[in-house]
Amino acid sequence: MEWLQAIILGLIQGLTEFIPISSSGHLVIAQTFLSGASDHLLLEFINIGTLLALLVFFRKRIIGIIKDIFVNRQYKLARNIIITSVPAGVVGFLLADFIEATPSFFGSAVVVAVTLAVVGIVMIVLEKLPHASPVEDGEKLSGWRAFAIGAAQMMALIPGVSRSGSTIIAGRLSGLTPAAAAEYSFLASLPIMIGITIKIFVTDSDYLLANLGVLAVSNLFAFISGLLAVGFLLRYLAKHSLAVFGWYRVGLAAVLTVILLVQ
């Protein structure tokens, strides 16, 4: 991989992992046009930079959760985060080999075009959909609502869906405000991102060593752009809905469809 390509992919990963427009979808598109094929292992390895961005951005919140567990004996938020993480974590673990062995689907620009459009439309009409009774934050979610958000997160295994997008949508339908849904989405993604990182270090260390330089560069840019993206999204959603991201997704899907048809 060229250094410029590594920088571009790192920037895309950081910006789109947290803004609900699908990091996997954008990376599949970028790899398709930059190198002609999608590299699934690369997509997993540059999650490290965005994981570090989340840990740094939410460091005080994470310390507070740990303090609640061991000092205040308050477990509800930690419980909800675990409940939300389990469905996607289990399904992702069971399907890991299948995903890596099926690039025709999980690396398909056609699949990305479809999922970008479908989820984008849901975001546009989201505020008109029936919502559950209001919930102040993730700690106040019932176990069933936390599980429903986790079930939605499973859909993010399909490229173009967006992990943050699916969980923020489910959080909104569960009664959370846009900003609270985004914060809960990010916190609930941490166990899965940590699990993926441990898994690739254990099973794919040869790939890491063979591509150490470019992966380091990609993750550096993913970390920096990820920090900026998290802060931007939380500020934006404090006053706005997801609709603008829905329109972006639909527009990108239309452009991608035209490109695919004329190729």
What distances in angstroms separate CA 48 from CA 66, 83, 120, one per listed residue?
22, 23, 27
Residues 6+ apart with CB under 8 A from 147: 83, 84, 86, 87
Does residue 106 carry a pLDDT above 80? no
- Structural domain including 224 reads 3-262
* pTM of the entire predicted model: 0.91
Name the residue among 15, 18, 13, 24 with its Cα closest to residue 160. 24
pLDDT at 109: 85
DSSP state of 132: P
Looking at the structure of the chain, the number of domains it has is: 1
pLDDT at 79: 95
Does residue 223 carry a pLDDT above 80? yes
Q: What gap in Å lies between CA 112 and CA 117, rounded to an integer?
A: 8
Does residue 93 carry a pLDDT above 60? yes
* 133 phi, psi to nearest 5 deg: -60, 145
The predicted-structure confidence for 51-67, as pLDDT tens digits, reads as follows 999 999 999 999 999 99
pLDDT at 36: 59
